[in-house]
Amino acid sequence: MPVPHERWLGWDLGGAHLKVVALDARGQSEAVLQVACPLWQGLDHLDTAIERVLGSLGARATRHAVTMTGELTDLFEDRATGVRALIERMQRRFPAEEVRIYAGRAGLLAPAAAAAAPDQVASANWMASASLAARHFPEGVLVDIGSTTSDLVPFHGGQVSARGYHDHERLAAGELVYSGVVRTPVMALAGRVPFGGHWVALMAEHFATTADIYRLTGELPAHADLMPSADGRPKTSAASAGRLARMLGLDAAAAAPAAWERLAAHLAEAQLRTLAEACDCLLSRGELAADAPILGAGVGRFLARRLAARLGRAYLGFGALFEGQAPGTPDGPEVADCAPAAAVARLALEEST
Smallest Cα–Cα separation from 53: which of 65, 71, 40, 36?
36
Whether 4 has a pLDDT exceeding 90, the answer reads no
| Every domain of the chain and the residues it spans | 7-128+322-352
Q: Measured between alpha carbons, how far is 18 from 27 in angstroms, rounded to an integer? A: 21
* Residues 252-266, mean pLDDT to the nearest whole number: 98
Contact between residue 177 and residue 203 where contact means Cβ atoms under 8 Å apart: no
Strand-pair partners of 342: none
* Residues 217-238, mean pLDDT to the nearest whole number: 96
pLDDT of the residue at 134: 97
User: What one-character DSSP code corresponds to residue 203?
Assistant: P
Whether 186 has a pLDDT exceeding 80, the answer reads yes
* Residues 78-87, mean pLDDT to the nearest whole number: 98
Q: Measured between alpha carbons, how far is 125 from 111 in angstroms, rounded to an integer? A: 16
* Residues 232-248, mean pLDDT to the nearest whole number: 98
Smallest Cα–Cα separation from 176: which of 127, 119, 120?
127
Whether 329 has a pLDDT exceeding 80, the answer reads no
Contact between residue 265 and residue 190 where contact means Cβ atoms under 8 Å apart: no
* Residues 251-259, mean pLDDT to the nearest whole number: 98
CA distances to 4, 5, 92, 118, 258 from 353, rounded to whole Å, are 6, 9, 27, 27, 55
Whether 261 has a pLDDT exceeding 70, the answer reads yes
Model confidence pTM above 0.85:
yes
* Residues 244-269, mean pLDDT to the nearest whole number: 98
pLDDT of the residue at 1: 38
* Residues 164-177, mean pLDDT to the nearest whole number: 97
141 contacts: CB under 8 Å, gap ≥ 6: 152, 153, 154, 155, 279, 282, 283, 288, 292, 293, 294, 295
Q: Measured between alpha carbons, how far is 286 from 179 in angstroms, rounded to an integer? A: 25
**Radius of gyration of the chain measured on its C-alpha atoms:** 20
Query: pLDDT band at 330, cuts 50/70/90?
Result: low
Whether 160 has a pLDDT exceeding 80, the answer reads yes
Higher pLDDT: 81 or 331? It is 81
Element (H, E) at 296: strand 294-297
| CATH classification (class only), 7-128+322-352 | alpha beta
pLDDT of the residue at 326: 52
Whether 115 has a pLDDT exceeding 70, the answer reads yes
| 209 CA to centre of own chain | 16
Q: Measured between alpha carbons, how far is 304 from 71 in angstroms, rounded to an integer? A: 27
pLDDT of the residue at 353: 77
Report angle CA 66, 159, 70 to the nearest 5 degrees.
Answer: 25
pLDDT in tens, 8-67: 999 999 999 999 999 999 999 999 999 999 999 999 999 999 999 999 998 677 899 999
112 contacts: CB under 8 Å, gap ≥ 6: 96
Query: pLDDT band at 323, cuts 50/70/90?
Result: low
Average pLDDT value for the chain: 95
Percent of the chain scored above 90 by pLDDT? 92
Whether 81 has a pLDDT exceeding 60, the answer reads yes
Whether 105 has a pLDDT exceeding 70, the answer reads yes
pLDDT in tens, 197-208: 999 999 999 999
